[in-house]
Amino acid sequence: MKKITTILLLVFVCTCVKAQISTKDSIVSGFLIDVHYAFHIPEGDMKDRFGMSSGAGAGLLYKTKKNLLFGLDLNLEFGGDVKIEDSIFANLYTDAGYMIDGDGLYAEVFTYERGWMGMGKVGMVFPWFGPNENCGPFLMLGGGYMLHKIRIYNQDMTAPQVKDEYKKGYDRYTGGFALSQQLGYFFIGNKKSYSFTASFEITEAFTKPLRDYQFDLMGPESQATRLDILYGIRVSWMIPLFRQPSDGYYTN
């Protein structure tokens, strides 16, 4: 019994040592959690509706020993510059340019950009320079879905014109298939706390209006198809899920 216990203990120790992967001297494989922030500038039809925006989200990457990347990515988009705010509420304003709420007072109504993107991605790291062979320029391509709308907010909810279901009559809810391209630098440090990416990214979404009726238009949007483009800078912090040795002694 003692011999069996000793053998099992040796197997366990060897397995643990083998599981400790060194990024310093080898190309490693494993999962990484990605937490990111992006600054976006709109183009195409998106530019006529919204101004600059921010994106934040998380993803899961798998990196192979050939430096191939496979991932899933979720990004939430938010901004405060809605360029068509005055026109969509034109039929709700008085001659003096104010909206009257249910209490007979001036209503405070604010608009924001809101949206999200879900992407499946594939890419590659080119280990041309860096502290180890897991670092270097990287390219990723993605495909998925984009949704965006105008968030309408009345602080005290006293304006029935833009409350509950009525908000949908002005929100320009839009969605469709999206493509993305990302080019930047991929870094996995010799210590797990120093892993990040910095990149330029662009997203092209082939969207269409998803509401059957918009009150200010007295019908659906006339534009059947849209090309919504976002481009900008993205930075991410990555958390490797594979184990690494704490010192310079390791076994591959």
Contact 6, 14 (CB under 8 A): no
Question: 130 — alpha (psi -120 to 50), left (phi > 0) or beta?
Answer: left
Mean pLDDT of 15-39: 73
pLDDT at 25: 55
DSSP state of 99: B
Q: Residue 20 and residue 44: Cα distance in Å, rounded?
A: 48
Q: Is the pLDDT of residue 115 over 60?
A: yes
Label the pairing between strands 53-63 and 30-44: antiparallel
Those residues whose C-beta lies under 8 Å from the C-beta of residue 120, and which sit 6 or more positions away, are 71, 72, 73, 142, 143, 144
Mean pLDDT of 217-224: 90
Domain membership flag for residue 251? no
Domain membership flag for residue 166? yes
pLDDT at 249: 41
* 3-class secondary structure, 113: strand
Predicted TM-score (pTM) of this structure:
0.83
DSSP state of 203: E
Q: What is the pLDDT of residues 34-78, one digit of tens each?
A: 999 999 999 999 999 999 999 999 999 999 999 999 999 999 999
What CATH number is given to the structural domain containing 154? 2.40.160.20
Mean pLDDT rounded to a whole number for the chain: 87
Q: Of the candidates 95, 102, 55, which has an alpha carbon nearest to the alpha carbon of residue 232?
A: 55
Domain membership flag for residue 245? no
Contact 168, 61 (CB under 8 A): no
In angstroms, what CA-CA distances link 163 with 99, 116, 166, 245? 13, 23, 5, 57
Q: Is the pLDDT of residue 21 over 60?
A: no
Q: Is the pLDDT of residue 135 over 80?
A: yes
Q: Of the candidates 175, 233, 178, which has an alpha carbon nearest to the alpha carbon of residue 55?
A: 233
Contact 11, 209 (CB under 8 A): no
Domain membership flag for residue 250? no
Question: What is the amino acid identity at position 22?
Answer: S
Domain that holds residue 13: 2-240
Domain membership flag for residue 167? yes
Count CB atoms within 10 A of the CB of residue 16. Answer: 11
Q: Is the pLDDT of residue 14 over 50?
A: no
Q: What is the pLDDT of residues 182-207, one digit of tens each?
A: 999 999 987 656 799 999 999 999 99
Question: What is the amino acid identity at position 25?
Answer: D
pLDDT-based confidence at 10, cuts 50/70/90? Answer: very low
Contact 171, 151 (CB under 8 A): yes
Number of separate domains in the chain:
1
Those residues whose C-beta lies under 8 Å from the C-beta of residue 117, and which sit 6 or more positions away, are 55, 73, 74, 75, 77, 144, 145, 146, 147, 178, 180, 203, 205
Domain membership flag for residue 252? no
pLDDT-based confidence at 28, cuts 50/70/90? Answer: confident
pLDDT-based confidence at 244, cuts 50/70/90? Answer: low
Q: Is the pLDDT of residue 8 over 70?
A: no
Q: Residue 213 and residue 53: Cα distance in Å, rounded?
A: 26
